[in-house]
Amino acid sequence: MKSPSPNLKRNPKEPGDTEHSAGTGSRQSAEFVPRIHTEIAGVHFQNPVLTASGTFGYGQEFAQLIDLNCLGGIVVKGISAEPMPGNPPPRIYETESGMLNAIGLQNVGAHEFLKQKLPFLRTLKARCIVNVFGYSTADYIRCLDILNAGDGIDAYELNISCPNTRCGGMIYGSDPKLTEEVVAASKHTARFPLYVKLSPNVTDIAVFARAAESAGADALSLVNTFVGMAIDVENRTPRISNVTAGLSGPAIKPVALRMVYQAAQAVKIPIIGLGGIATAEDALEYLIAGARAIQVGTANFYAPETALRVVEGIQDYCARKRLHLADLIGTLRIPGAEPRKPTEY
Ligand SMILES: Cc1cc2nc3c(=O)[nH]c(=O)nc-3n(C[C@H](O)[C@H](O)[C@H](O)COP(=O)(O)O)c2cc1C
């Protein structure tokens, strides 16, 4: 897998450096301090970089490795109403440019999350987003009902897209009617803003983005992992006990980016983009495609400082381009097409 590199070096001569200029000359250039905060459904993030569910534990596991207060937000591992043990091993397999996982949504359960994990998370400047899943609409509601007591939760991220549970999430994420049903019921119950995480394992992402929006989603996260598999040819056995697994990491980025772009064209609610982000340049692609924030996932496993480097790289890029983050989001320049207006929030 590619490791994050200190990319996007300053090049003051690069074309575009004077756009949205607050003045002229190198003195002003040195003085321009971009604003990179963002807002999603009433939640204010100090920067647009979050860590993705299932790749960052409950946050505290990474406290010795990076300064969590520099993150925009932390999306915790998927929580269910009851604790879950997950799938039997092997559950992870490294592939070229990515990884396969079938953890099976192992988690401490909603009550233990409130007791053991939330008190630490609410001390941080990083926003706390709780990823929620269930096997039925009633399960989702039960879990939300418990979590609603959690002071310090900033928003929910509804996982309707996990490919590793047999009768659960994935069914919702691959049927627009069920997407509407579970989102509408969850929105009715949720005390905090509801972000809905979509599956990439569909033919037309715009259909699902619109279904979630019309059912009341406050924002969308996309994407979750792509269904894949790997085989040990010596033994002719699957590399993962679940046989199929979710593919993540740099391998999925171009497809995920295309889906974020298409979803951003299809809906008005904000979008959080993720899939294979390992550098600031990756993140900037998502922001320019229309995402208002991004998440770093698989890269946390091999380079835990990735998210912080991405924050720095976005800051440097915006300073060099003399742009605030809001002036960048969704501003893909397509030759011959009308330029989009900057985002307002
Ligand atoms: C080991 C592992 C566990 C994951 N667990 C969850 C989860 O509990 N809930 C969820 O919505 N997504 C989960 N995901 C998906 C990630 O949050 C993310 O959507 C996906 O990995 C794509 O981003 P990436 O390529 O940056 O990793 C998991 C991913 C991995 C690799």
Domain boundaries, the chain: 25-327
Assess whether the C-beta atom of 51 lies below 6 angstroms from ligand 1: no
Compute the CA torsion angle 176, 182, 185, 190 (nearest 10 deg). -120
CA 17 to ligand 1 center in whole angstroms: 36
User: Of 272, 281, 282, nearest to 317 (Cα)?
Assistant: 281
Q: Are 132 and 157 in contact (CB under 8 A)?
A: yes
CA 173 to ligand 1 center in whole angstroms: 15
Q: Are 155 and 43 in contact (CB under 8 A)?
A: yes
Q: Is 270's pLDDT higher than 70?
A: yes
Q: Three-state secondary structure along the chain?
A: CCCCCCCCCCCCCCCCCCCCCCCCHHHHHHHCCCCCCEEECCEEECCCEEECCCCCCCCHHHCCCCCHHHCCEEEEEEECCCCECCCCCCCEEEECCEEEECCCCCECCHHHHHHHHHHHHCCCCCEEEEEECCCCHHHHHHHHHHHCCCCCCCEEEEECCCCCCCCCHHHHHCCHHHHHHHHHHHHHHCCCCEEEECCCCCCCHHHHHHHHHHCCCCEEEECCCEEECCEECCCCEECCCCCCEEEECHHHHHHHHHHHHHHHHHCCCCEEEECCCCCHHHHHHHHHHCCCEEEECCHHHHCCCHHHHHHHHHHHHHHHHCCCHHHCCCCCCCCCCCCCCCCCC
Which residue matches tokens 């040195």?
Answer: 30
Token representation of residue 163:
């490919």
Q: Is 170's pLDDT higher than 80?
A: no
Assess whether the C-beta atom of 199 lies below 6 angstroms from ligand 1: no
Q: Is 186's pLDDT higher than 70?
A: yes
Q: What is the reported pLDDT for 142?
A: 97
- Give the integer Cα–Cα distance in Å for 108 and 206: 34
Q: What is the reported pLDDT for 31?
A: 82
CA 339 to ligand 1 center in whole angstroms: 33
CA distances from 330 to 145, 190, 288, 310 (A): 35, 29, 5, 18
- Return the ligand 1 atom nearest residue 252 CA: 25
- Is 128 part of the annotated catalytic residue set? no
Beta strands 73-79 and 127-132, pairing class: parallel
pLDDT category, 200, cuts 50, 70, 90?
Answer: very high
Instruction: From the candidates 70, 128, 143, 162, give the one annotated as an active-site residue.
Output: 162
Q: What is the reported pLDDT for 109?
A: 97
pLDDT category, 338, cuts 50, 70, 90?
Answer: confident
Q: What is the reported pLDDT for 105?
A: 84
Q: What is the reported pLDDT for 22?
A: 39
> What phi and psi values does residue 137 have, to the nearest 5 degrees?
-60, -40
Q: What is the reported pLDDT for 6?
A: 37
CA 187 to ligand 1 center in whole angstroms: 23
Token representation of residue 332:
């893909």
Residue 90: asked if its preceding bond is cis (omega within 30°), the reply is yes
Percent of residues, the chain, with pLDDT higher than 90? 82
* CATH code, 25-327: 3.20.20.70
CA distances from 86 to 79, 200, 241 (A): 12, 22, 11
Ligand 1 binding pocket mutation candidate from 2, 3, 51, 55 (most atoms within 8 A of CB): 55
Nearest CA to ligand 1 atom 14: 54
- Return the ligand 1 atom nearest residue 107 CA: 8
pLDDT category, 49, cuts 50, 70, 90?
Answer: very high
Q: Considering the chain, what is the average pLDDT of its residues?
A: 90
CA 52 to ligand 1 center in whole angstroms: 6
Q: What is the reported pLDDT for 20?
A: 44
Q: Is 230's pLDDT higher than 90?
A: yes
State pLDDT tens for residues 97-124.
Answer: 999 999 988 999 999 999 999 999 999 9
**For range 262-286, the mean pLDDT:** 98
- Would the pTM of this model clear 0.85, i.e. be above it? yes
**For range 72-81, the mean pLDDT:** 97
- Give the integer Cα–Cα distance in Å for 339 and 325: 16
Q: Is 13's pLDDT higher than 60?
A: no
Nearest CA to ligand 1 atom 10: 53
> What phi and psi values does residue 22 have, to the nearest 5 degrees?
-90, 0
State pLDDT tens for residues 148-165.
Answer: 999 999 999 999 986 655
Point out the least confidently predicted range of 206-210, 260-264, 307-311, 334-338. Answer: 334-338
Chain centroid offset of residue 292 CA:
11
Nearest CA to ligand 1 atom 3: 54
**For range 259-264, the mean pLDDT:** 98
Q: What is the reported pLDDT for 163?
A: 62
pLDDT category, 1, cuts 50, 70, 90?
Answer: low
Q: What is the reported pLDDT for 165?
A: 52
Q: What is the reported pLDDT for 343?
A: 76
> What phi and psi values does residue 296 have, to the nearest 5 degrees?
-100, 125
